[in-house]
Amino acid sequence: MKKMKNGPWKAVITFLLLVLGNALNAAAIACFALPYGMVVSGVSGIAKFFQYFFGANLNMVVYAVNILIFLVGLFIMGKRFAATIIVGTFAFPICLQFFNHLTMLHHLVDDPLIAAICAGLLDGLGLGIIIRAGGSTGGIDVPPIILHSKFGLPVAPVMYAIDFTIFIIQIPFTKSNGVILGIIYALIYSVVMNKILVFDQGGVQMLIFSKANQEINERLMQMGLGSTFLHSKTGYLGEEQDTLVCVTSARNINAVKNAVFQFDEKAFLTISSVSEVNGNGYTLWLDDDMYQPDRGERRAGRLVKKK
C-alpha cells in the first residue's frame, strides 16, 4: 500500500481529482450561473465582459486569459510553479466549453435562487477537491501570488480586490437579480469550500480540570486516547494543579465525558472544535525509539494515518 501511495498511482489519482474539481467548477458556471445571468468571479467574469462589449467568444477568451496567465507565471515564477497550475489552466477551459455545448443542462432548475445554490455547492465542492489534492485553479489565483512573491503584497487582499473588480465590470450589463444571485453564489461556494478543506482534518480539544486527573488519564490511555498534562493554577484559590488535555475525534466526546465524570462528578470540562489535527497519534508515525500508538489506540481514535 505504501508503494502504491508513493508511486505513479498517487500522481494519477491527484490528476483525476484535479480534473474532477475543474469539471465541477465548469459545470457550476456553465449549467447554473451563466444561464441565469449571474455575475461570476475569475476568468469567466472577464470573459463575460469581453463577450458583451466586444462580441468575443466566451470559451476562447477563457482559453486565452488562462494560457496568458500561465505563461506569465512560467516566465516569472519558474517551471516548478507552472507545474502546480498547468492542470487547472487547461482542464477548466476544456470542461467549460464541454458544458457550454450541453444546452440541455443549462436550465435544470426553474428557480434562479435554486440555481445560485446549486452553482455554489458545485463550485465550492470543486474548489475544495482541487485544493485538498494539492493543486490550484490557475487563472486569477496566479497574479496575487506573483505580486506577493515580487513585491510582498498580501495574497488574500489582492485576490479579493481582483474578484471585486471583476464583479464591478459586469454590473453595467447585468440585471440587479443577477448581481444578487451572483453574490449568493459566491458566499455559498466560499462556505462549502471551507467545509471541504477541513472535512475529516479536525477534531475536538478537551480541557479537563479535576483532582482525579491521574485516574482519568489512565482511563483515557486504556481507551486508546492520547493526553497531555499542563501545569496550571486556579484563579480563585490559587491552588497548583495539572490540567489534562485530550485531542480526539468528535465521535469520542461522550466516551471521554463518561470517563471524566465516572471519577469526578464535579470535574470542570471544556470542549473546543479544532479545525485541523497533525502530529503523532493522528498523522505521523514516529521511529521505533519513540512512542507509537498501539493497535488499540488506532482502533479507538481512527485518526492515525501512516504516511
Band of residue 249 on the pLDDT scale cut at 50, 70, 90: confident
**pLDDT at residue 125 greater than cutoff 90:** yes
Residue 201 has what pLDDT?
Answer: 65
In DSSP terms, which residues pair with 229 in a beta bridge?
244
DSSP at 280: B
With bands split at pLDDT 50, 70 and 90, how would you rate the model's confidence at 302? Answer: very low
* Chain region(s) in the chain for CATH 3.30.70.120: 203-301
| Secondary-structure class of domain 203-301 per CATH | alpha beta
229: pLDDT strictly greater than 90: yes
pLDDT, tens only, 183-226: 999 999 989 988 887 776 667 899 999 989 999 999 888 888 88
Report pLDDT digits (tens) over 14-35. Answer: 899 999 999 999 999 999 999 9
Please state, in angstroms and rounded to a whole number, the distance separating the CA atoms of residues 223 and 196.
29
Edge-first strand listing for the sheet containing 228-233: 228-233, 240-248, 203-209, 268-274
Q: What letters, b where the CB count within 10 A reaches 16 and e where it falls short, cover 165-203?
A: ebbebbeeebeeebbebbebbbebbeebbeebbeeebbb
216's CB contacts (< 8 A; 6+ apart) are 208, 210, 244, 259, 260, 263, 264, 267
Give the global pTM: 0.71
Q: Look-up: residue for cell 465525558?
A: 257
Read off the pLDDT of each residue in 54-76 and give the average, rounded to a whole number: 94
The answer to whether the CB of 37 falls within 8 A of the CB of 48 is no
Q: Confidence band (pLDDT; 50, 70, 90) for 293?
A: very low
Q: Which of 62-66, 99-103, 192-196, 287-291 has the lowest mean pLDDT?
A: 287-291
List, in order, residues 6 or more apart from 116 with CB less than 8 Å away.
32, 33, 36, 38, 181, 182, 184, 185, 188
